[in-house]
């Protein structure tokens, strides 16, 4: 295999060696690995992007999750943004809004694209869809950027992890944020260094984030963290495009994430036994989690 990589450094080297953009290195590896044509994998990735778009459009502000803990916030932030009271610029404001919406759609059993996980499904679409809406970018370019996200995610998954249960939320929202930052830097015309650096800054900012969901559900704090992760991606891309560098290189930050994940106590890795999940409020909420209609248990 020509396009074999195990680190961010590898992707950059292959890009330099073959004089092709990083997203093409990633696409070619997939073609070799799965024995598919360029058209096939491009279409699959495009399908992922279209599914993100559809999920965004199908947000319903009137839906409430089964636990009743999630729903409606996407509508609120939309109204606030539309009123022109936004503190952040139009782009970052829209990013926030879309991230919340996607997180809520996920909690309400709507169809989403795991990126890299269902819990963090709002970060990348928020950054990407808002960008395309406001800056009028060709669809192909968006798909190229999505390849870039996927490749970065692959490297993180290989060298650290992308599941809250193994590495805490840094592995989910953190990885999503890093992937989105790389994609965004590419969309804004950043070179390889800027792309890698955007990813690095984003991930570094998310190190140590724990996974402590209330009642064990992908709702609190997950939904709002999608907006935090998405806005962090935008900030990191902007810092990087301005020429600001991470003192620690990408692969070392990924290694750190793995180490931090390993050092993190079990109670903060999706077990519901620590952090926000054991607050008084969380325990009160847990007591109210009855069964929904039609789900009655029978004892045998």
120 is a site residue for ligand SF4 (CB under 6 A): yes
Containing 97, the helix (H) or strand (E) segment is helix 90-107
Alpha-carbon distance of 202 to 32, in angstroms, equals 30
Is residue 211 near ligand SF4 by the rule CB under 6 A? yes
* Residue 113 interacts with which of other proteins, ligand SF4, none, CB < 5 to 8 Å by class: other proteins
Q: Which residues contact residue 104 at a Cβ distance below 8 angstroms, ignoring those fewer than 6 apart?
A: 59, 63, 65, 70, 71, 72, 73, 74, 223
Query: CB-wise, 20 or 114, nearer to ligand SF4?
Result: 114
Nearer to other proteins among residue 97 and residue 172 (C-beta): 172
- Using only C-alpha atoms, the chain has a radius of gyration, in whole angstroms, of 19
Residue 271 burial by CB count (10 A; 0-12/13-18/19+): exposed, middle or buried? Answer: middle
CA angle 150, 152, 155 (to 5 degrees): 110
Task: Give the C-alpha separation, 61 to 247, whole Å.
Answer: 42
Q: Which of residues 98-117 bind other proteins (CB under 8 A)?
A: 105-117
The terminus-to-terminus CA distance of the chain in angstroms comes to 56
The verdict on 228 binding ligand SF4 (CB under 6 A) reads no
119 in contact with ligand SF4 (CB under 6 A): yes
Smallest gap, in angstroms, from Cβ of residue 124 to ligand SF4? Answer: 13
* Residue 172 binding ligand SF4, by CB under 6 A: yes
164 binds ligand SF4 (CB under 6 A): yes
Tokens of 183: 């994609």
Residues 6+ apart with CB under 8 A from 233: 123, 127, 176, 177, 178, 180, 181, 184, 198, 202
Q: Is 48 in the site for other proteins (CB under 8 A)?
A: yes
Number of amino acids touching ligand SF4 (CB under 6 A): 13
Q: Is residue 67 involved in binding other proteins (CB under 8 A)?
A: yes
Distance CA 21, CA 213 (A): 38
Binding piece for ligand SF4, criterion CB under 6 A, among 1-9, 217-225, 245-253, 281-289:
217-225
Q: Does 263 participate in binding other proteins (rule CB under 8 A)?
A: no
- Please choose which of other proteins, ligand SF4, none residue 11 contacts, taking the beta carbon within 5 to 8 angstroms, the exact cut-off set by kind: none
State the minimum distance, in angstroms, from the CB of residue 223 to ligand SF4.
Answer: 8
Question: For binding to other proteins (CB under 8 A), which residues are involved?
Answer: 26, 30, 33-34, 41, 44-45, 47-48, 51, 65-67, 105-119, 121, 124, 146-147, 149-151, 153-154, 157-158, 162-163, 165, 179, 215-219, 289-292, 294-300
Interacting residues with ligand SF4 (CB under 6 A): 119-120, 164, 169, 172-173, 211, 213, 218, 221-222, 225, 270
């Amino acid at each position: 295999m020509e396009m074999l990589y195990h680190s961010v450094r590898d992707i950059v080297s292959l890009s330099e060696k073959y004089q092709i953009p990083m997203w093409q290195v990633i696409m070619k590896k997939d073609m070799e690995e799965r024995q598919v044509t360029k058209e096939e994998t491009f279409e699959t990735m495009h399908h992922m992007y279209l599914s993100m778009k559809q999920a965004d459009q199908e947000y319903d502000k009137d839906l409430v999750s089964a636990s009743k803990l999630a729903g409606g916030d996407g509508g609120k932030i939309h109204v606030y943004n539309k009123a022109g009271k936004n503190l952040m610029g139009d782009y970052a404001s829209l990013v926030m809004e879309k991230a919340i919406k996607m997180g809520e759609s996920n909690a309400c059993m709507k169809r989403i694209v795991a990126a890299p996980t269902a819990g963090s499904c709002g970060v990348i679409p928020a950054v990407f869809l808002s960008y395309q809406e406001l800056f009028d970018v060709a669809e192909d370019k968006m798909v190229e950027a999505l390849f870039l996200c996927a490749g970065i995610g692959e490297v993180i998954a290989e060298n650290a992890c992308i599941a809250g249960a193994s590495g805490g939320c840094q592995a989910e929202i953190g990885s999503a944020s890093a992937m989105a930052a790389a994609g965004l830097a590419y969309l804004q015309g950043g070179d390889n260094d800027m792309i890698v650096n955007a990813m690095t800054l984003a991930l570094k900012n998310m190190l140590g984030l724990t996974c402590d969901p209330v009642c064990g559900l992908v709702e609190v704090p997950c939904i709002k963290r999608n907006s935090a992760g998405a806005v962090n991606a935008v900030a990191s891309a902007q810092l990087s495009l301005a020429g600001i560098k991470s003192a620690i290189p990408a692969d070392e930050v990924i290694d750190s994430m793995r180490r931090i994940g390993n050092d993190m106590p079990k109670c903060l890795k999706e077990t519901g036994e620590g952090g926000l999940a054991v607050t008084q409020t969380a325990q009160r909420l847990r007591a109210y989690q009855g069964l929904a209609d039609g789900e009655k248990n029978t004892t045998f």
